[in-house]
Amino acid sequence: MKPDDLIGAWACSDCHAEIDRRTRILDNKDARLYHLEGVIRTQAILLKEGKIKP
Q: Give the domain CATH number at 22.
A: 3.30.50.20
From the CA atom positions of the chain, what is the Rg in Å? 12
CB 38 within 8 A of CB 10: yes
Domain assignment of residue 37, given as a range: 5-48
Q: What tens-digit pLDDT sequence spans the chain (54 residues)?
A: 777 888 899 999 999 999 999 999 999 999 999 999 999 999 999 999 999 998
Query: DSSP code of 41?
Result: H
Number of folded domains that form the chain: 1
Has residue 53 been placed in a domain?
A: no
Q: Please report the pLDDT score of residue 29 as a whole number.
A: 98
pTM: 0.85
Question: Does residue 32 sit within a domain?
Answer: yes
The answer to whether position 54 is within a domain reads no
